[in-house]
Copies of this chain bind each other. A is one copy, B any other.
Amino acid sequence: MLAVMSPAANAQSSLTVFGVMDVAVRRTNTDHVGHMLSMASGSYTSSRYGFRGREDLGGGLSASFWLESFLSADTGAVTPAGFQRRSTLSLAHTEWGELRMGRDFTPTHSNWSRFDPFNYVGIGSVQLFSLSATGSTPVTAAFGSNGNSIQRSSNAIQYLLPRNSWGLEGGITKSFGEGNVSASDQHSSIGARLGVNLGPVFVSAASYTTHDDKTISDFKDRALAASWNAGFVRLSGGVRRYEYLRATQSNYLLAAVVPLGAHEVKFSFNRAKMGGTAGTAGTAGTTAIHGDSADQLALGYVYRLSKRTVAYATAATMRDKGNARFVIPGARAGTAGARSQGFEFGMNHEF
């Protein structure tokens, strides 16, 4: 992280160059299919680079921006080009809250990823059940292979609560459809998130509804989660549910993190359970997905070499039921009811 006072601006202003380089060696196996050895990027936290800055406008008011890019640290690729992890411009007031415009996380993703000890990435992450285009799920039925609004929305305007003495946090998000062209990632969406900090306990709920030329009907995404910091262990759990026409998917998360000085051990259990019927993108379909489900167990170890640099290792196993075909990320594609396992160890460096 490079943070420098800008000579052209007043003393409260800053511009920062920042990023994460994360590389791991990964070995996965898909039963009856075979194994794969690979180098992965962003298995502890996502590799990225970006620029952010803040200008104090006086009277509690500030302007700030955040540009953050995808980055494949193992190949150097930036796909897609630009700052599509985040691109926002904000006008904020210490007491009234923040108005934020551009591309950012959805309220439900913010509500969900935060409770995953694997930071939504790598072979142990809760991400698997949300993004995979393999098989029939409400997500693939609603968006096909087009960009979806599970993680981020472009062209969005957010109002975010200021820091307050009630321990409340969250906000509302409205993204402009601009013609609602799903293929151009132009979704008309609306939703909100509300969290309450109650000492060691944190509870948060969010909802986000999307409509575009492909979904025809509304795609509904809701998440409820809680965490408890008991000192020697941090527990978290939650449920996130997708609904589209007659298809449903419920994702469950149970996780624990045990900090031990420079060491950390973490564990998570994820389950995705389908219901109803799904079709090709934009149709209700007649494919029964009721009974399709997948379970994932992950165990991780982290060693802090410094505040900015960690070494880590993760092992994970996944088991499908019914026609589910989810596999560990980086594993060879499986057939219905696939089983897959993976192990990775790597290094993560913040700058």
Contact = CB atoms under 8 A, between A and B. Distances in A.
A2 to B, nearest CB: 4
A90 to B, nearest CB: 9
Given A6-B3, A51-B19, A155-B39, A305 B63 contact: yes
A347 B72 CA distance: 32
Q: Give the contact-size bracket for chain A.
A: 35 or more
A9 B3 CA distance: 11
B179 A36 contact: yes
B89 A347 contact: yes
Interface string A1-25: 1111011110000010101011101
Contact of A351 (B3, B19, B65): B65
Interface stretch (A73-81, A216-224, A321-329, A334-342): A73-81
A347 B69 CA distance: 22
A152 to B, nearest CB: 9
Identical copies of this chain, number: 3
Nearest to A22: B89
A299 to B, nearest CB: 23
A91 B81 CA distance: 28
B79 A102 contact: no
A252 interface: no
A57 B308 CA distance: 10
Contact of A67 (B7, B49, B154): B49
A289 interface: no
Contacts of A196: none
Chain A interface mostly: strand
Given A17-B17, A89-B349, A156-B39, A185 B75 contact: yes
Interface string A130-163: 0000000000000000000000001111000000
Most B CB within 10 A of own CB, among A8, A37, A39, A75: A75
A304 to B, nearest CB: 10
Contacts of A63: 305-306, 308-309, 347, 349
A266 interface: no
A86 interface: yes
Given A63-B306, A89-B23, A178-B36, A15 B351 contact: yes
Interface of A: 1-4, 6-9, 15, 17, 19, 21-23, 25, 36-39, 49, 51, 53, 55, 57, 61, 63-65, 67-69, 71-87, 89, 91, 101-103, 154-157, 176-179, 185, 305-309, 347, 349, 351
8 contacts: A8-B308, A23-B102, A37-B176, A49-B67, A53-B351, A55-B309, A71-B82, A78-B81
